[in-house]
């Protein structure tokens, strides 16, 4: 049985039908890095009637939170209420965010919630009490990112999302089950792997990354206003970054400066014009990759097999890598690895981030492992860091796979990173898969390319009998069509 599956496949409905109804075709079983952006909720002109009261709910929630924080300095009870309003569990059934291989990822930690409350309380003291403060805290609080904002939004309007899902299920005539949520009954799809509901993600609220996620994004948002952009780069950012941590120690004059700086920061945030994620262009590459995985799964056939010893497991994993290599090199799927123009032309010099080929490989692994008793995981953290993939049936036949783009430091990764992962996972074998996404040529400055250096090092280790990860190269370059 597969551990991940597209919503459309699970519901037995065409992806285009979901898209037409404004529903994201998510990957159930593993989080995909999209977010629900509160700004989009407030900017969409023709909201589905399921969300007619959502904006008021969000405003009321954050206004209440600000009010509680204002009054909580000498009240343990109010501080607990404020913490509980932020330190929420990731809502179930959406498969978006950074929850690794969980649909319901980790909660916002209480320690993070307390830092947010402290920082907001300090800003309130200097006269800043806008509800947008809660979103802007992603700029200052570690481990509070865009996925946290998305979780908060979903937490606040969860019943509205359930109504949206129930309404669309009825229209599409989908199979549902009765669930009781917050004392109310909803008829929603059953999750294929867990005993809880699926909640649809509306495309119109979907963002690849909210603007208030890093300083560079805010700087870009201010670019349309030259004066504001200059002030931000040379004045606002340094002041806010340096003085926010010691705001209680500032004199009255300094507090006025940080107050005005924060007002301008909030103005930038409010004046940005958010755009919903374009699934057709798919600038992050996740949506197109997910669709490919489902097509691969539909065509794949194999007999059920049982794997036991290390040798069998190594051969099995190597066959999967060779299948991945074949799909990229010979089946025309290297284009999944690259960004596209607005006319959908492939930008052969602009590869996607490493998580796209990792996502594709993980999907292929999942399909193959569904025909065996092999357990597999993505980004296992038992070792010195998160190794990309592990597979095995026991502690004695575990195999690890690390996926790298050729534009990364592949030699260093081969020498240090993967051997540590192999040791940490107590794996019997390791594969180091390098996807070539840049046609690097030797030069006077660099007479040997990274790919050539890695190849030479690997061959040298084999010749000298040094145990090291097995290197496999995948040619992911885009070549001209033979017909041209």
Q: Is the pLDDT of residue 104 over 60?
A: no
CA distance 319 to 369: 12
Establish if 277 belongs to a structural domain.
Answer: no
pLDDT value at position 25?
94
Q: How does strand 338-340 pair with strand 429-436?
A: unpaired
Termini Cα distance of the chain: 43
- Cα angle, residue 13 at apex, residues 204 and 275 outer, rounded to 5°: 15
Residues 187 and 236 grouped into a single domain: yes
Residues 219 and 259 grouped into a single domain: yes
pLDDT value at position 244?
65
pLDDT value at position 142?
74
Establish if 278 belongs to a structural domain.
Answer: no
CA distance 403 to 462: 20
Average pLDDT, the chain: 85
Residues 433 and 467 grouped into a single domain: yes
pLDDT over 90 for what percent of the chain?
49
Residue whose C-alpha is closest to residue 362's, from 343, 376, 341: 376
The mean per-residue pLDDT over the stretch 335-342 comes to: 95
Residues 206 and 317 grouped into a single domain: no
Supply 14's token pair.
């065409």
pLDDT tens digits for range 421-443: 788 888 999 999 999 999 999 88
CA distance 401 to 364: 13
pLDDT value at position 319?
95
pLDDT tens digits for range 28-53: 887 777 888 888 888 887 888 999 99
pLDDT value at position 420?
83
Q: How does strand 177-181 pair with strand 184-188?
A: antiparallel
Q: Which helix H or strand E contains 390, and what residues bound it? A: strand 387-392
Residue whose C-alpha is closest to residue 318's, from 399, 438, 210, 211: 399
**For residue 145, what pLDDT band results from cuts at 50, 70 and 90?**
confident
Q: Is the pLDDT of residue 476 over 60?
A: yes
CA distance 146 to 208: 10
DSSP for residue 480 = -
pLDDT tens digits for range 215-271: 455 555 445 444 444 444 444 555 565 666 677 777 888 788 778 877 877 777 777
Q: Is the pLDDT of residue 471 over 90?
A: yes
Residues 440 and 291 grouped into a single domain: yes
| 262-279 residues labelled b (16+ CB within 10 A) or e (exposed) | bebbbebbeebebebbeb
Quickly tell me which residue has 């008829």 as its tokens.
Answer: 187
Domain boundary among 237, 271, 305: 271
Q: Please say whether the beta carbons of 181 and 162 come within 8 A.
A: yes
Q: Please say whether the beta carbons of 262 and 123 come within 8 A.
A: yes
Q: Which helix H or strand E contains 471, and what residues bound it? A: strand 470-475
Beta-strand runs (E) in 1-112: 5-6, 27-28, 35-36
* Domain boundaries, position 364: 286-475
Query: Which residues on adjacent β-strands are paired with residue 432?
Result: 402, 471
Q: How many CB atoms lie within 10 A of CB 468?
A: 18
The mean per-residue pLDDT over the stretch 302-321 comes to: 89
Q: Provide the total of helices (H) and of strands (E) in the chain, helices listed first.
A: 19, 13
Residue 467 or residue 432, greater confidence: 432
User: Is 388 exposed, middle or buried (CB count within 10 Å of its CB: 0-12, 13-18, 19+)?
Assistant: buried
pLDDT value at position 455?
96
Residues 321 and 253 grouped into a single domain: no
Q: In this structure, what is the dihedral angle of CA atoms 384, 388, 390, 391, given to the nearest 10 degrees?
A: -170
Establish if 481 belongs to a structural domain.
Answer: no
Q: How does strand 27-28 pair with strand 35-36?
A: unpaired
Domain boundary among 248, 271, 294: 271
DSSP for residue 362 = H
Q: What are phi and psi of 376, to 5 degrees?
A: -135, 155
Residues 93 and 222 grouped into a single domain: yes
Residues 352 and 267 grouped into a single domain: no
pLDDT tens digits for range 273-287: 778 889 999 988 999
The mean per-residue pLDDT over the stretch 297-312 comes to: 86
| Least reliable range by pLDDT among 69-83, 214-228, 253-267, 387-401 | 214-228
The alpha carbon of 440 is separated from its chain's Cα centroid by a whole number of angstroms, namely 29
pLDDT tens digits for range 350-379: 999 998 999 999 999 999 998 888 888 876
pLDDT value at position 406?
96
**For residue 333, what pLDDT band results from cuts at 50, 70 and 90?**
very high
Q: How many CB atoms lie within 10 A of CB 195?
A: 6
Residues 42 and 166 grouped into a single domain: yes
Residues 471 and 340 grouped into a single domain: yes
Q: Is the pLDDT of residue 306 over 60?
A: yes
pTM of whole model > 0.75? yes
**For residue 6, what pLDDT band results from cuts at 50, 70 and 90?**
very high
For the CA atoms of the chain, what is the radius of gyration? 25
Q: Is the pLDDT of residue 448 over 90?
A: yes
**Count of structural domains within the chain:** 2
Q: Is the pLDDT of residue 171 over 50?
A: yes
Task: Say which residues have a Cβ less than 8 Å from residue 323's Cβ, sequence separation at least 6.
Answer: 364, 368
Supply 180's token pair.
């009781």
Establish if 436 belongs to a structural domain.
Answer: yes
Collapsing DSSP to helix, strand or coil, 35 comes out as strand
Beta-strand runs (E) in 71-222: 177-181, 184-188, 206-207
Establish if 382 belongs to a structural domain.
Answer: yes
The mean per-residue pLDDT over the stretch 81-94 comes to: 88
The mean per-residue pLDDT over the stretch 112-120 comes to: 88
**For residue 106, what pLDDT band results from cuts at 50, 70 and 90?**
very low
Residues 297 and 205 grouped into a single domain: no
Establish if 155 belongs to a structural domain.
Answer: yes
| Least reliable range by pLDDT among 134-143, 215-224, 378-387 | 215-224
Domain boundary among 271, 305, 333: 271
Residues 243 and 337 grouped into a single domain: no
CA distance 484 to 478: 14
pLDDT value at position 251?
83
Establish if 480 belongs to a structural domain.
Answer: no
Q: Please say whether the beta carbons of 64 and 58 come within 8 A.
A: no
Establish if 149 belongs to a structural domain.
Answer: yes
């Amino acid at each position: 049985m597969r551990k991940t599956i597209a919503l459309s496949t699970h519901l037995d409905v065409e992806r285009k039908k979901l898209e037409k109804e404004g529903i994201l075709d998510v990957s159930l079983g593993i989080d995909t890095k999209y977010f629900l952006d509160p700004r989009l909720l407030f900017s969409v002109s023709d909201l589905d009637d399921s969300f007619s009261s959502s904006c008021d709910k969000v405003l009321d929630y954050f206004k209440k939170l600000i009010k509680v924080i204002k009054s909580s300095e000498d009240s343990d009870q109010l501080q607990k209420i404020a913490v509980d309003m932020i330190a929420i569990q990731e809502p179930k059934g959406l498969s978006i965010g950074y929850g690794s291989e969980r649909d319901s990822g980790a909660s916002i930690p209480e320690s993070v919630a307390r830092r947010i409350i402290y920082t907001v309380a300090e800003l309130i003291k200097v006269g800043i009490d806008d509800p947008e403060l809660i979103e802007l805290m992603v700029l200052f609080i570690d481990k509070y990112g865009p996925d946290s904002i998305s979780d908060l939004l979903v937490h606040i309007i969860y019943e509205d999302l359930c109504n949206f899902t129930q309404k669309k299920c009825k229209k599409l005539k989908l199979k549902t089950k009765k669930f009781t949520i917050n004392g109310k009954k909803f008829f929603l799809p059953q999750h294929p792997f867990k005993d809880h509901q699926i909640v649809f993600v509306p495309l119109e609220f979907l963002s690849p990354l909210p603007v208030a996620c890093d300083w560079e994004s805010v700087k870009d948002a201010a670019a349309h206003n030259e004066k504001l952009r200059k002030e931000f780069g040379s004045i606002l950012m340094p002041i806010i970054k340096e003085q926010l941590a010691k705001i209680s120690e500032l004199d009255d004059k300094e507090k006025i400066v940080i107050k005005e700086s924060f007002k301008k920061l909030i103005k930038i945030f409010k004046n940005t014009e958010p755009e919903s994620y374009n699934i057709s262009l798919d600038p992050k590459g996740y949506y197109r990759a997910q669709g490919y995985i489902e097509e691969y799964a539909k065509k794949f056939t194999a007999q059920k097999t049982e794997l036991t010893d290390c040798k069998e497991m190594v051969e099995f994993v190597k066959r999967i890598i060779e299948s991945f290599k074949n799909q990229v090199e010979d089946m025309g799927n290297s284009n999944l690895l690259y960004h596209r123009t607005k006319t959908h032309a492939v930008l052969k010099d602009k590869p996607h981030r490493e998580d796209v080929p990792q996502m594709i490989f993980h999907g292929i692994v999942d399909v193959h492992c569904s025909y065996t008793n092999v357990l597999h995981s993505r980004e296992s953290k038992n070792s010195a860091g998160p190794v990309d993939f592990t597979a095995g049936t026991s502690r004695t036949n575990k195999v690890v796979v690390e996926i790298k783009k050729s534009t990364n430091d592949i030699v260093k990764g081969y020498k240090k990173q993967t051997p540590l992962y192999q040791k940490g996972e107590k794996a019997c074998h390791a594969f180091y898969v390098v996807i070539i996404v840049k046609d690097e040529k030797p030069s006077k400055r660099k007479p040997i390319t990274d790919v050539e250096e890695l190849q030479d090092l690997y061959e040298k280790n084999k010749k000298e009998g040094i145990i090291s990860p097995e290197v496999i190269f995948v040619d992911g370059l885009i070549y001209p069509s033979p017909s041209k």
